[in-house]
Amino acid sequence: MKRMNILLSLLLSLVLVAAACGDDDAGTTTTAAASTTTQPAAEETTTTVPPAPVLIGAIHPLTGGLAGAGNRMDNGARMAVDEINAAGGITSLGGAPLELISADSTGAPDVGQSEAERLISAGVSAIIGTYQSAVTTNVAAIAEREGVPLVIDVAVDDSILDQGYTYTFRLQPNATSMGTNGAKFLSELGGDEIKTVAYLHDDTGFGVSVSEAFTTAAAALGIEVITDITYAPFSVTDLTTEMAQAAAGSPDVIVITGYYNDGLLAARAAIDLEVDVKAIVGIAQGAFHTPQFVEDFGADAELFFNSNYHFNSSDPTVAGILERFEARFGEAMDTEAMLAYQAIYVVADALERAGSSDPADVRAALATTNIADHFLAYPGPITFDDTGENINAEPVLMQVIDGKVQQVLPIGLRETDPVFPGTSWGS
Amino acid sequence: MRGRSSKVVWAGLAVVMAGVVPQTAWWDLNHTVFAQAVVSGLLIGGVYSLVAMGLSLVFGVLDIINFAHGALMTIAIYASYLLFQNYGVDPYVSLLITIPLLFIVGVGIQRFAINPVMDAPVHNQLLLTLGIAIMIENLALVLFTGTPRSIELAYARNEFDLGVVTLDFPLKVFGAVVSLPKLVAFLAALVLAGVLYLLIQRTQLGTAIRASAQEPEGAELVGIDVRRIYMITFGIGAACVGAAGSLVLPFLFVAPTAGATFTIIAFVVVVLGGMGSIPGALVGGLVIGLTQELTQLFVPGSKFLGVFVVFLAVLLFRPEGIFGRVRR
């Protein structure tokens, strides 16, 4: 009976914890008493001794449910560091090599935060990360307090940069850009044929922020969200009922936002139900534009859309990066890994221009970043506004056509014409 | 007593349904959604039952809170996946491999890890099984990376001519779809429950297992090697979750955390059904599955809220679970 009581109290506490973590959009950052740690001044580098390596921290979920993406991102960052070092390191620092310190957020905001503190006390000049909005919110607060720049490779929530931070910069499109551009693509794609949408999304800060942005932007374009269905992305094992709910009001299109596993479940449910819609469109969806989705899903993957960040697949340089990654790590590189790879190049560029590894100098250099020869499908160079958003960060609309993820919008980045109405089971 | 209480639960559900359903405006529009929720609830409930049976057995007999249960399922998921990817072995054929494999793994874990701590304080056992779970999960991460993978059954959307009737998958029942792999998992849950029940109630081994569960000292006195029975029991529990792993592969995903997704819900099912009760695990799983999908209809996005409301209600009114007996 004693065991029973222990088990019950355990279960109850788990339930309470789960309930408390229900909305990770709240971004509760523990503001500890601001300990003003002064960074040790960068050592005078003389030309006689070899220059000390510049430390860069990378925080991603290396274990837990998001470990797949997290490890690919860490590998992307590692590859960038090795390539920069092989090319002679940071010239303005006398050829100083970069040294990557990888940290595991485990997917938990509090762990991400303590890892950020650990990296900063180890003396990093900058941090990149973290794949999740909730974790990034906490890490950004620490970066600001300690005065170490954070370059966000992946994390979508607008509110991260709404705090007036000066030390945080974001490479990927934020939730507003994702939602707004997603709505724009829909209206461009379907014109008058898309009037109503059912939205199925995860209930974390990620899904909620993107869907809100989409709903607002879509309304302005005459597209109405008639159903909004949420689910818990890390505990869900079946989305058939949710998909049936989404299809119930006969929407023109079903829009999906979420991570990889739940995207898979949603896609399966749509195919099983043969939902009678004109298209299924992911917006910032973690699965529908990935190589393994196409590989594992086979013919069923055909005609799924996804409006998401994407590496510039028409650039031969990018093709080379993809090849090197696959040769080295034995799996296909995805855009998340490319963003982490890019983030290291952004930091290296700032170090080069700053001629210093002092975090404050790196921040100042990051603020004036202007990189035209980047690896992403953006309409312009990487350059940050006052809040730290990448001005030209925009998603592209992709569709699985003939077993390949192909860019279909905007016209300037089009690889092939979209298939619309786009469902493989036809109506 | 047993019969009455489960009737009370069902009657309670029925009253709630009957009270709420006609009040809702969507009822006219959404018969099919409602049917889908019931069907999905039963099907996913069957999976919960599958996972919970082995856990219930281990819990009832050994009194061990096994947090590694979901991780054992992950081993089976990966084993079936690798057999499919590398040798084209059908997941249902790979049951012939995953069931014995997990039996051996279970016996090994009991023999080398859990037997030595059978008399240790509960929190030590908890930490041990949790440690095993973390180890398995991270081993999978190192060996297979965290990239989620999946497989599709080539024949999941075929017609099957059974002579009497032709089944065209996915089946349509009152407008709700029943996918082939989920139906197979559901039927397997029923079969496994029957097999386990007969094994425990009608065989000599089953008698020895029940004796070791109720009176370990007495069992030793009449010549039963209780430590060996414990090993076999844990092995059977692991074999059950091994079967579950192979059966969910075609409609779930392959990732180091795939099995762990079920751990908590399996504990809920075990407590709800009654410790050590196989019929309890079966009925408990179906109740939880139905509850979760019907909750999704009325409170969208709070699937698991309903589960814990039902769970707490059962604990308040029947702390030993639906089929449980009042223990010592």
What the block records as the tokens of B101 is 């494999």
Whole-angstrom distance, CA of residue B202 vs CA of residue B211: 13
Candidates B296, B298, B326, partner chain A, best to mutate (most A CBs within 10 A):
B296
State the average pLDDT over residues A53-61: 97
- Among candidates A234, A240, A268 on the partner chain, residue whose Cβ is nearest the Cβ of B40: A240
Contact (CB<8Å) A248/B33? yes
- pLDDT per position as a tens digit, A373-385: 999 999 999 999 9
Which residue on chain A is closest to B328 by alpha carbon? Answer: A1
- Among candidates B152, B268, B297 on the partner chain, residue whose Cβ is nearest the Cβ of A300: B152
Contact (CB<8Å) B252/A235? no
Q: Which residues of B touch A234 (CB under 8 A)?
A: 261
- Among candidates A65, A245, A331 on the partner chain, residue whose Cβ is nearest the Cβ of B147: A331
Candidates B293, B298, B303, partner chain A, best to mutate (most A CBs within 10 A):
B303
The secondary structure of residue A411, as a DSSP letter, is G
Across chain B, which distance is largest between two alpha carbons, in Å?
A: 66
Q: Which pLDDT score, from 0 to 100, does residue A18 have? A: 47
- pLDDT band of residue B4 (cuts 50, 70, 90) is low
Q: Which residues of A touch B151 (CB under 8 A)?
A: 296
- pLDDT per position as a tens digit, A330-370: 989 999 999 999 999 999 999 999 999 999 999 999 999 99
Query: A265, A238 in Cβ contact below 8 A?
Result: yes
B161 pLDDT higher than 90: no
- Among candidates A3, A261, A296 on the partner chain, residue whose Cβ is nearest the Cβ of B65: A3
A126-129: strand order across its sheet: A98-104, A54-60, A126-129, A150-152, A168-170
Which residue on chain B is closest to A247 by alpha carbon? Answer: B33
Structural element, H or E, at residue A357: none
Please report, for residues A183, A345, A391, the alpha-carbon distance to residue A371 in angstroms, rounded to integers and kept in the order given: 28, 9, 12
B27 pLDDT higher than 90: no
What the block records as the tokens of A115 is 């890892």
CB pairs under 8 A between A and B: 142
Q: Which residues of A touch B176 (CB under 8 A)?
A: 244
Please name which of A280, A312, A284, A311 lies closest in space to residue A421, comparing C-alpha atoms: A280
Query: B49, B269 in Cβ contact below 8 A?
Result: yes
- Among candidates B36, B145, B328 on the partner chain, residue whose Cβ is nearest the Cβ of A241: B36
- pLDDT band of residue B308 (cuts 50, 70, 90) is confident
Whole-angstrom distance, CA of residue B63 vs CA of residue B59: 5
The secondary structure of residue A40, as a DSSP letter, is P
Please name which of A267, A290, A312, A301 lies closest in space to residue A414, comparing C-alpha atoms: A312
Residues in CB range of B326: below 8 A, 6 or more apart: B320
State the average pLDDT over residues B207-235: 94
Q: Which pLDDT score, from 0 to 100, does residue A346 have? A: 97
The number of helices, as runs of H, and strands, as runs of E, in chain B is 12, 4
Whole-angstrom distance, CA of residue A256 vs CA of residue A277: 13
